[in-house]
Amino acid sequence: MQNQQQNQNLQDSSSMPDQQSHGGHEMFDAHEAISGLIGGMEQYLLYEQHIQDPELKTMLQQHRTYLSQLYNTIVETLKTGQEPTVGTQIYNMTQSNNVIYGMQPTQPKTPAQTVNEINDQCVSSYMMGMLKSSASAFTMTSLETTNPVLRRVFADSVPNLVEMAYEVFLYQNKNQYYQVPQLKQQDMQQYMNSFAPIQGTTSH
127 within a domain of the structure (yes/no): yes
111 within a domain of the structure (yes/no): no
pLDDT for the residue 3: 54
43 within a domain of the structure (yes/no): yes
With a cut of 90, say whether residue 20 has pLDDT above it: no
Q: Which domain holds residue 49?
A: 22-93+118-177
Identity of the amino acid at 101: Y
pLDDT for the residue 10: 47
Instruction: Measure the CA–CA gap between 127 and 67, rounded to whole angstroms.
Output: 12
184 within a domain of the structure (yes/no): no
pLDDT for the residue 94: 87
Instruction: Measure the CA–CA gap between 78 and 85, rounded to whole angstroms.
Output: 12
For position 141, which CATH number holds? Answer: 1.20.1260.10
pTM of the predicted model, to two decimals? 0.84
Handedness of CA 43, 45, 46, 50 (dihedral sign): positive
| In the chain, alpha helices (H) | 2-9, 24-48, 54-80, 120-143, 148-174, 185-192
Q: How far is CA 147 from CA 31, 86, 121, 127, 160, in A?
A: 14, 18, 40, 30, 21
pLDDT for the residue 200: 85
144 within a domain of the structure (yes/no): yes
Instruction: Report the percent of the chain where pLDDT is more than 90.
Output: 78
pLDDT, average across residues 75-104: 92
Tally of structural domains, the chain: 1
Q: What is the CA 105 to chain-centroid distance, rounded?
A: 31
Instruction: Measure the CA–CA gap between 79 and 155, rounded to whole angstroms.
Output: 18
Instruction: Measure the CA–CA gap between 53 and 123, rounded to whole angstroms.
Output: 11
Q: What angle do CA 17, 19, 24 make, to 5 degrees?
A: 100
Contact 70, 89 (CB under 8 A): yes
59 within a domain of the structure (yes/no): yes
DSSP string, 67-124: HHHHHHHHHHHHHHSS--SS-PPPP---S-S---BB----PPP---SSGGG--HHHHH
pLDDT for the residue 15: 47
